[in-house]
Chains A and B, each alone.
Chain A
Amino acid sequence: MKARVHIMLKNGVLDPQGEAVRHALGTMGFDGVDGVRQGKVIELELAETDASKAEAEVTKMCEALLANTVIERYEVELI
């Protein structure tokens, strides 16, 4: 089973990288981009075959290491 973790900065946490990307898009002529937020995606290959156990385990991994919950939020997707 595979899991995909999406990690984004929480709303309200300044994302200077996203802001720089938004600025570059505007410079290139892409109008109407009001905001850009940049995050990361982590894919995990798991030995676990039970979906609910896998999700619980990956959630633990997010809390322990993959995300910094002071500034980031995460979503776990099983694929």
Chain B
Amino acid sequence: MKAAVIVFPGSNCDRDLAVAYRNAGFSVEMVWHKDTALPSGVDVVGIPGGFSFGDYLRCGAIAARSPIVASIAAHAERGGYVLGVCNGFQVLVETGLLPGALVRNAGLKFICKPVALSVATRLSAFTSGYDTGQTVTFPVAHHDGNYTAKPETLDALNGEDRVAFRYAEELNGSVDRIAGILSENRRVMGLMPHPERAADAVLGGSDGAAMFQTLAEGCVTA
């Protein structure tokens, strides 16, 4: 099982994400954004949190046009797994691999704290280690995590059971309290909270570990 973690200038959760993958049994390769191909045999691509390109223009906008992105899109099209966390989620919506957009938090504040999330569906390799409706706690650390989308997009997300996580309580203005969503084939997930920062009891919580474990199991059986 191999995971690739993409590194942009300004990524700062790349090593945390790599540790979480390694602890779940993946071999991990760090991939610089200027590379044009993923390493061979990659099962999972991780797009980490941080402030790629200083959040210039829009969060994730410049990173979404990096040379490596075409091969991430091809990987997703082949049915490969892609996990985007925080800035990684912003990159995924900017590439169009996930629908909607992430805009400034409604309260204008950078929010940095552990938050309770409700698992909205367990039907994905990312969430099958949880029960639907289960509450988990992951930290958030974002300024632009206010998810918005057209009504028809929201209908599709809800109708196709593609909302992965919701904030248990109103946090940042996200429509329907959406914290994370899945692609149509359920193999691309973006979420604002940080499961990799809650993947080891030493970090103050281990609710996130199950995500990486079930992802590893998904890769073995895929």
Residues of A within 8 A of B (CB): 9, 13-14, 16-17, 20, 64-66, 68, 70-71
Contacts and interface: CB of A to CB of B under 8 A. Distances in A.
B61 A17 contact: no
Q: Which residue, of B58, B93, B105, has the highest number of chain A Cβ atoms within 10 A?
A: B58
Contacts of A20: 108
B100 A70 contact: yes
Nearest to A38: B104
Overall SS of chain B's interface: loop
Contacts of B146: 14, 16
A65 B99 CA distance: 16
B61 A70 contact: no
Nearest to A66: B57
Given A16-B106, A17-B108, A68-B58, 5 more contacts: A14-B106, A14-B173, A64-B65, A70-B99, A71-B101
B61 A65 contact: yes
A9 B173 CA distance: 16
B148 A13 contact: yes
A66 B62 CA distance: 10
Contacts, number: 37
Interface string B78-107: 000000000000000110000111011111
Given A65-B61, A65-B65, A70-B149, A16 B108 contact: yes
Q: Which residue, of B103, B106, B107, B148, has the highest number of chain A Cβ atoms within 10 A?
A: B103
20 contacts: A9-B103, A13-B103, A13-B148, A14-B103, A14-B173, A16-B104, A16-B105, A16-B173, A17-B108, A20-B108, A64-B65, A65-B57, A65-B65, A68-B61, A68-B101, A70-B93, A70-B99, A70-B100, A70-B101, A71-B101
Contacts of B105: 16
Contacts of B148: 13-14, 71
A64 B148 CA distance: 20
Contacts of B93: 70
Contacts of A66: 57
